[in-house]
Chain A
Amino acid sequence: MSKSLKIKELYPPGDFGIWIVIYVELLTFGLFFIGYAFSRKYNLEMFNTSQLTLDTQSGFVNTLILVTSSYFVVKAVTSIKNMSENNLAQASQTASKWLIAAMIFGGAFLVNKVLEFSTIFGEGITLSTNKFYMFYLLLTMFHFMHVLLGTIVLFNLYSKTKLHGYTPTDCRGLESGASYWHMVDLLWIVLFPLVYIIR
């Protein structure tokens, strides 16, 4: 009975503005994903042949990195939301450690992706090589920029958390940054099977 009567929050976590950003980003990437899928349908052989040159292992590692980093961020938010007045310092310390871990994983994603890009560019592949690489490079580089921005956001969240800047009733900034980071993870969750696996 208590379950069915559970009152839901009126608004999503974080500032309302971040959700507008998230919905717009989802729409933009969604159009790219659909564009990729239908271009593949009409250029099947070329897409399948070109896809063989991708490093699936790197894509796999990056997926693990992002889902784990997302988990670290949600743990940081939970630490802050569950803190009480007596353990403010300890909870902030714990949250900042989760955020450092998330940031390190974000950095690892970027390094791994740079290595992947350097291999691709080293082979003389560019946006105009063919339609597959155009989509692959546009999608992954666009996503890369989001991870880069997300990592910078995580650093700012970490700096404020370390200074005990968030409380359970005043953590909208933390929730906004966390929501953005989860969106980056969500996009990669669709991108990875679509570009690296489905053939």
Chain B
Amino acid sequence: MKKILEAVWILLVIFTIFAFLLGKLELVSSVMVAVLLLSTFIKAQLVIDYFMGLKNVQNKYRFIPTLWLVVVISLIAIAYY
């Protein structure tokens, strides 16, 4: 369990650095926005599953924030493209 939490934190940091570099190096293109949104989805799902602890709870409680995430990220993508 300990190692999982550390791994999640490292992934969150890596995805954050990736997002920052995209902006800083002005690499934001249509393709990269798709990658950025996917990485944002993964980051948020990691927080929901491992930090909020919903991975080990009945699916309906995990389903609500995951559905929220899918709807919000999808609509951001629709608005962008």
Q: Which of A27, A73, A189 lies in contact with B40, CB distance below 8 A?
A: A189
Convert B8-33 into 0s and 1s, putting 1 for each residue whose CB lies closer than 8 angstroms to a CB of A: 11001100110110111000100001
Q: In the complex, what distance in Å separates the CA atom of A59 from the CA atom of B57?
A: 32
Size of the chain A interface, CB-CB below 8 angstroms: 49
Residues of B within 8 Å of A63, CB to CB, are 16, 19-20
The reply to whether B47 and A198 form a contact with Cβ atoms under 8 Å apart is no
The reply to whether B47 and A34 form a contact with Cβ atoms under 8 Å apart is no
Give chain A's interface secondary structure class.
Answer: helix
Q: Which of B9, B59, B65, B69 lies in contact with A71, CB distance below 8 A?
A: B9
Q: In the complex, what distance in Å separates the CA atom of A6 from the CA atom of B53?
A: 15
Q: Which of A26, A71, A197 lies in contact with B23, CB distance below 8 A?
A: A197
Q: In the complex, what distance in Å separates the CA atom of A9 from the CA atom of B47?
A: 18
Q: In the complex, what distance in Å separates the CA atom of A135 from the CA atom of B50?
A: 30
Residues of B within 8 Å of A33, CB to CB, are 72, 76
Stretch from A108-116, A117-125, A179-187 contacting the other chain: A179-187
The reply to whether B51 and A56 form a contact with Cβ atoms under 8 Å apart is no
A154 vs chain B, min Cβ distance (A) = 14
A30 vs chain B, min Cβ distance (A) = 5
Q: Which of B20, B50, B69, B72 lies in contact with A56, CB distance below 8 A?
A: B20
Q: Is A194 an interface residue, CB under 8 A from the partner?
A: yes
Q: In the complex, what distance in Å separates the CA atom of A11 from the CA atom of B54?
A: 9
Q: In the complex, what distance in Å separates the CA atom of A75 from the CA atom of B33?
A: 32
Convert B44-62 into 0s and 1s, putting 1 for each residue whose CB lies closer than 8 angstroms to a CB of A: 1001101111101111010
Convert A26-62 into 0s and 1s, putting 1 for each residue whose CB lies closer than 8 angstroms to a CB of B: 1100100110011011000000000000001101100
B78 vs chain A, min Cβ distance (A) = 8
The reply to whether A19 and B61 form a contact with Cβ atoms under 8 Å apart is yes
